[in-house]
Structure 1
Amino acid sequence: MNICSVCLCLSFLTVGVLGDEVKSVSVMEGHSVTLNTNVIRQTDDQIMWFYGPENTFVARINGEAGGTMFSDDERFIDRVKLNYQTGDLIITHITSQHSGLYTLNISRDMKVSNKTFSVTVYARLPVPALIRDFSQISSSSERSSSSKCSVLCLVMKVSHDVSVSWYKGKSLLSSISVSEHSIIRSISLHLECLDDSDVYSCVINNSISTQTQHLNTDVCHKCSDSPDMRNMRIIILPVIFGPLICVIIIIIIKHKRRVKGL
């Protein structure tokens, strides 16, 4: 047998490793995730799942016997299931400790195909807090700026990068990226006042979920109630009704004189 023939035979006997691509999967904490093998299990197939850089055993379906075995690691006890027909791995009530790499080994006809999954578990997003930013009012300019409304959209806790944005209706006004390591976790909105027709919203989102908080008059006053509008009414009302009151008074005086003359 020549060298080429020997190499050809060895190529069939050697374990074949297929599929180096890492598939990314995102899931929210508390939900379930399914890692799909994308195969239909044959009688002699052996399917094994491992977790992390230490290749911690997670689950297995034995070949012809068809028996299943699961990890005794406390992270996976009572959380892991296998689809008997496909070998899909199902993790229920998932938490952040289940984030990481999962490796699938499928043994078939003396060959092994591998697949790798990168699972990212996102904590539930917090509801953003909207608070008045009174630091914008200084003692020297308090009178001129008291009618303005500066609002902070504050994010308290995040486990991954999130986007924090101000919207007017569907139009993006401003946006920042916030992570658990960020020093600044708020974004400002500056308004003269809040008009009834305007809808301002602070939106927090990551790749799988969103939280929204709408701005209302509990935080920012209506334009009709602003100091400028009140001052304008104080000025306008006497201008409009002052002459009218004077005319009425003159008519009453003339009427009294006429009655006396009679």
Structure 2
Amino acid sequence: MLIDLSGKIALVTGSTGGIGLAIARGLAEAGATVIVNGREQARVDEALAQLRDTKGGAMARGLACDLGTAAGCQALIAAEPKADILVNNLGIYAAREFFEIGDEEWEEIFQVNVLSGIRLSRHYARGMQARGWGRIQFISSESALNIPAEMVHYGVSKTALQGVSRGLAKVLAGSGVTVNSILPGPTRTEGVIAFIGEMARQEGVSPEEMERLFIQRHRSSSLLRRFAEPAEVANLCVYAASPQASATTGAALRVEGGIVESIA
């Protein structure tokens, strides 16, 4: 299967590292003009440099703004009013005891993880609908289905994304615009590497051993039995953004290594 996204503009939020950067790279390799986003200009510039060797890398551009705020979303929309592909990847997470999660943390995680995608989709979906073609993705998580006791607020925010995704797919039914959520599992991103490294230090084991122990203790139903690489998640996102995925909409697409105990 040859995926060609030449002539398409793709906006990937939170794309200066991890899964977001891998998605941006995959879309650029398929020929899309990618818009990179992050909060720091230096990181945006670094991400753009990493895309230069791709098919669409010479056309890639970026903008530094905080999409966890309404003002940041509006700044991005003003600078980049059009997108054919929108990947709402931006997200934050933190391990917290439920009783220690205050209103401010609940508010922050919803502003960043949920409302950023809603605000951007509200704008870009209209243009896609008018043109009769578009792809919108919400990067959710297997934690949306298996709410982690150590990150209840994170899991709830990811469940909300699946609701938004399914609802927006219905709003755009028959328009040529598809909307899907993507459910990764534990993925070896920079943040997760640091998180696992700190756990390894506390337990006096190697990071490699700590990864194995994490899967064993916290994701024991995993069939993959390892952390995924960001590119493995990005591969599914690139397909879902392609013309070939024209009949896939309103779906929750899983790339979580078989953690979810369901055949549906």
- The TM-score range, normalised by the shorter chain, is under 0.3
Which entry has the higher C-alpha Rg, 1 or 2?
1
* Structure possessing the higher relative contact order (Cα contacts under 8 Å, 6 or more residues apart): 2
Taking structure 1 as the reference length, the TM-score comes to: 0.18
The TM-score, its normalising length taken from structure 2, stands at 0.18
Larger strand share, 1 or 2? 1
